[in-house]
Chains A and B, each alone.
Chain A
Amino acid sequence: MKQTDPHRCHENCLVLFERLSEYIDRELDAPTCKDIEAHIKACKPCQVCLETLKQTVALCRNLERRQVPDTFSLKLKSAIFDLVDKKAD
């Protein structure tokens, strides 16, 4: 992945593009990670591609969680109470 020929570089960008999520998730073997890191170091568009994808994943991981509405929580527990009660009979 270290070639500087533009055509080869483009090919390497495509290979990397397909594997970026696995790279982010650390699901690739060490030699493949090393190749990717070498390519990214030398290829600005791929750096941007990786960073924007990483940020997208981070945003999903940190989405705020809403509280369960009290009215629903009570309704749910009441439905379960009926089941527990029925089973106990």
Chain B
Amino acid sequence: MPNPSEKTKNDDKDTELIRSINDGRQDLFYELVNRYEKSLYNFGLRMCDNPSDAEDMVQDTFLNVFKYLEGFRYETKFRNWLYRVATSACLKKKRRSKYAPDRELSLDEFLPANESDVSVELPRWASQPLDQVLDGELAGVIRQALLDLPEKYRLVVVLRDVEGFTTQETAEILDLTPTNIKVRLHRARLFLREALKSYYEAD
């Protein structure tokens, strides 16, 4: 058990709460749930698109966190550890092939096939302020495109761009190198951009 008076490099708003829980105030675990249930539920929805699977994932995550919280190492941020547990729960829940089959994305598939495909005009969806374009329809296109991404790319783009983790944090959560995260993230973003382009060009 770490010394409660000892400050660690990752002391954040959760650290004190976790120390109290680990010191016997288990009733305070509800506070952790209140802090993170909405984030985790939305993470689950992005990863599974099935509210029932998302709920199962959130429940499995919190039950595992409760079980293993005593072993939490204070040198990492709790939020990063929580998402590591959640990612593992997500992978167990995954419905292989229902949405995106696992496949590699290559940069080449996002390059214009020939000169005439190169756009020199900014499309409307990319030139307008976010609050004018992010309506229900566009959000739906992004949500579906996320689900169409092969899982290993989806995990990276959801953690980085939707949940807001840094490259280094995402690498720690997924046990990958930062270089690997950058490669996957770029391909995932290009995939999403293609989905948006296709949707608007088809109009």
Is A79 interfacial (CB 8 A cutoff)? yes
Scan B123-153; emit 1 where CB is below 8 A from any A CB, else 0. Answer: 1011100100110001100110010000000
Scan A33-73; emit 1 where CB is below 8 A from any B CB, else 0. Answer: 00000000000110110011111111111111111110011
Scan B26-64; emit 1 where CB is below 8 A from any A CB, else 0. Answer: 110110010001110110011000010001001100110
> Which single member of A20, A52, A72, A87 contacts B186 (CB below 8 Å)?
A20
Tally of contact residues, B, Cβ under 8 A: 53
Scan A4-26; emit 1 where CB is below 8 A from any B CB, else 0. Answer: 00000000001001101110010
Given the known interface contacts A21-B189, A68-B37, the answer about A48 and B162 at a Cβ–Cβ threshold of 8 Å is no
Chain B residues with Cβ below 8 Å from A21 are 182, 185-186, 189
Contact assessment for A76 and B125 in the assembled complex, using a CB-CB cutoff below 8 Å? no
Contact assessment for A45 and B119 in the assembled complex, using a CB-CB cutoff below 8 Å? yes
Is B120 interfacial (CB 8 A cutoff)? yes
- In this complex, the interface size class of chain A, counting residues with CB under 8 Å from chain B, is 35 or more
Binding site for B on A (CB under 8 A): 14, 17-18, 20-22, 25, 27, 44-45, 47-48, 51-69, 72-73, 75-77, 79-80, 83-84, 87-88
